[in-house]
Chains A and B, each alone.
Chain A
Amino acid sequence: MSAGPPTSAAGAREPWGWLPQRLRPREAELPGSGRQWLIETTLLVLVGVLLAVATFNDVARQTGVNERLIADIATWRAYTGHPYHDLGVDQELLGANSRHEVVCGNTVPGAPKAKTQICLLVWGPVVAGRRTVHGGWYLPPRSEDARSERYGCFGSARAAGMCPP
């Protein structure tokens, strides 16, 4: 028997002897030149960099979302003069990546959505902890923010026809 690589099928009597040399199983890997290890490690590092960049980007994105939420709520409170905590912020209605938000809350004290609600369209940079109100509408008590329920649109909401005629 020749002193070949440590395959389990060095000869024809071995169970895998019928396979070409390069396809035969081995009990242990050959030392090799390290080329495979280098390629794998490079790929792993690249995947690691992608995961790290994606993670940090997502943390920055979430932090930005949170900062906008804080500013949106402060803006609603300043605009209406009500220090309410139970406000609804919709970040999807005007486009998920638009950074334009709709903030809704009761016009008088009560359970969430139990009273007439005022919804404000808020966007723009955060200045002194607040953003700019560009318009809005009202909703009747116990109703969700659907176009059919809206009334009294003002500002950009009126111009964009966000209330039914």
Chain B
Amino acid sequence: MSVAAQSELGLTRARSARWAPALASLLALLLIAATAEIVIDGAAGHSALIPKSPAIAGWLAGLGEPLGYRVFLIAMLLAAGAYGGLLALLRRTGAPAVSKHGAIALIGALHLIVFAGPVLLSTDVFSYIAYARMGVEHGLNPYLHGPASISHDPVFYYVGHVWRHVATAYGPLYTLLSYPFAPLGVEGALWGMKLLAQLASVGTLVLIWRCARVRGFDPVAAILAVGANPLYIVYGLGGAHNDLLMMLLMMVAVSLTLIGTPGARREAEAAAVVVAGALVKATVAVLLPFMILSRRRLAPIVGALAAVLLGGLIAYAAFGVHGVDIVAALNRDAAFVSTDSFANEIAHLFGKPGVFPVDHDLLKAGLVLIVLHLMWRTWRGYDWISASGWTLLAISVTSTWLLAWYILWPLPLAVISRDRRLIAATLFVQAMFVLHQIAPLLAPVQ
């Protein structure tokens, strides 16, 4: 680079350094305002977007109007635009457009706003509570019965209609972790679940920070890409989903392989933590083959086997053989079709009314090919964290049952991946998901 070009670049950087922090502050305020609008209107009462819930956010009720699709979609589009702008700004200026304290303040504010508000967009948290109450309060096995078996329990009223007769699909470790919340009553358990989601998120962000530093990435950009992500905040944290706990365990495993002195013991521990994550939500198990292939040592295999054995024994003791049979629950859920799944959209594109059974098989075959390719590449030296991230992204894209929080899975890995295509692909898929929601904005049905 010539001296003149370097000087020009320096001038541009200096100019950017002046306006970038102000623009970043504006975008951060927009993100906070859009999220607050959703939460405040969500607390105002009857809305198709807010599940029936105990009045935990009653103190916000008088501040807004009941949340309608129009306001929700506009707020989501604004939040997504501000988030995209913030990431673009961090990338363009190459300077601290957002300070460490600024990033933490923004993420903290978004977390607090959602924590103070009602449950957003999903009844799943009430299913978690119902399964816990089935086991603790009613002596029923949640792997054998659906919440309909406790229709006299106060939580039953809040469980989504679709899930009332469905036994739990979550891992036995998660079910056992949820048991202490059962005696707290529905409202107490709900606060407990919300707090658990918040703590899991904070833990994930701390680990992302540390991993990003070890890998030579800007940790501020990495935590903002996850912790200020509108889907992560509104859908993930807003719904207090247990995916956040799964993602925390995923990042604990990744951290064990990246941070500190490498060795057989740490590799065994990392593999054991992946298994623990899979006993919360099975999806995270996809990390294991890539971790093992990248290490090519016995330690992670031994760690994983020991954790499977221990976890299996505990699950069997607590829930019998049904608590161990996670595959059956996964097969059941894999047959579902959601309107937001890309498979469904592609079926519509080709003039079909929806996804046919043969499409399920084609999608599974495609996913297997992708995983095999990534395993081969990992064997030949490709970054195993990137390979795991691609697999999680491929699972969400090929799933016929796609929910917003599923496309969050690859995000923590994408921000610390050496393959920068992964973060671009993950954010693109998330953008498509948000865009797919906007039909009610273009033609609102009264």
Contact = CB atoms under 8 A, between A and B. Distances in A.
Contacts of B397: 47, 51
B432 A51 contact: yes
B263 interface: no
Interface in B182-217: none
A57 B353 contact: no
Contact of B435 (A8, A30, A55, A70): A55
B346 A54 contact: yes
B348 A63 contact: no
Contact of A66 (B293, B428, B432, B445): B445
A6 B353 CA distance: 52
Contacts of A69: 445
Contacts of A28: 381
A103 to B, nearest CB: 13
A130 to B, nearest CB: 15
Contacts of A53: 349
B22 interface: no
B24 to A, nearest CB: 28
A90 to B, nearest CB: 14
A27 B353 contact: no
B379 A25 contact: yes
B290 to A, nearest CB: 13
A149 B293 CA distance: 64
B84 to A, nearest CB: 16
Interface in B396-446: 397, 421, 425, 428-429, 432, 435-436, 438-440, 442-446
**SS class of chain B's interface: helix, strand, loop or mixed?**
helix
B380 interface: yes
Contact of A48 (B293, B379, B428): B428
B349 A58 contact: yes
A47 B363 CA distance: 13
A16 B353 CA distance: 51
Contacts of A159: none
A20 to B, nearest CB: 13
Contacts of B377: 29
A94 interface: no
B157 interface: no
Interface in B96-123: none
B346 A44 contact: no
B296 interface: yes
A56 to B, nearest CB: 8
Nearest to B442: A63
A78 interface: no
Contacts of A55: 342, 345, 432, 435-436
Contacts, number: 84
Contacts of A65: 439
B125 to A, nearest CB: 28
A73 B428 CA distance: 37
A105 to B, nearest CB: 14
A47 B445 CA distance: 32
Contacts of A73: 446
Interface string A35-61: 000001100100110111111111101
Contacts of B296: 8, 15-16, 25
A100 B444 CA distance: 20
Nearest to A40: B421
B382 interface: yes
Contacts of B351: 97
B5 to A, nearest CB: 26
Interface in A68-94: 69-70, 73, 85
Contacts of B444: 66
Contacts of A40: 421
B345 A57 contact: yes
A73 B444 CA distance: 13
22 contacts: A8-B296, A29-B380, A29-B381, A48-B425, A54-B345, A55-B342, A55-B345, A55-B436, A57-B345, A58-B345, A59-B435, A59-B442, A61-B348, A62-B443, A63-B443, A64-B443, A65-B439, A66-B439, A66-B445, A67-B443, A85-B446, A97-B351
Interface of B: 293, 296, 342, 344-346, 348-349, 351, 353, 377, 379-382, 397, 421, 425, 428-429, 432, 435-436, 438-440, 442-446
